[in-house]
């Protein structure tokens, strides 16, 4: 019986994976403001316009809701504090 010693092959990466990396490498410049999109032009939405706006009435409703939640939290904490007895155990 004979023994044959084979040296291991060095690991190599494919050519597509050999890209420079690090903080000094500049990113490739993509044309256009939003880059490349896979959607058709009819489906693209501009990001410059706001998605939704609150009217004066909507702002009042939101502020009233927040005030109600904050008020009920304060009342709950106050009632929990006052419900503790001073009597000795």
Residue 5's pLDDT band (boundaries 50, 70, 90)?
A: confident
Q: What is the pLDDT of residue 54?
A: 84
In the numeric block, which tokens belong to residue 21?
């990396």
**Is the pLDDT at 68 greater than 60, yes or no?**
yes
d(CA 13, CA 19): 11
Q: What is the pLDDT of residue 13?
A: 64
The residues spanned by each domain of the chain are: 54-83
Q: What is the pLDDT of residue 34?
A: 53
d(CA 73, CA 4): 79
- pLDDT for 23-52, tens place per residue? 656 655 555 555 555 666 667 666 676 677
pTM above 0.75, yes or no: no
């Amino acid at each position: 019986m004979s023994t044959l010693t084979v040296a291991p092959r060095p690991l190599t990466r494919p050519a597509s994976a050999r890209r420079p990396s690090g903080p000094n490498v500049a990113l490739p410049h993509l044309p256009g403001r939003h880059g490349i999109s896979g959607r058709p032009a009819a489906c693209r939405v501009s990001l410059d316009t706001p998605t939704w706006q609150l009217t004066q009435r909507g702002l009042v409703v939101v502020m009233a809701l927040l005030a109600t939640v904050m008020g009920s939290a304060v009342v709950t904490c106050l009632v929990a504090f006052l419900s503790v007895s001073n009597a000795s155990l």
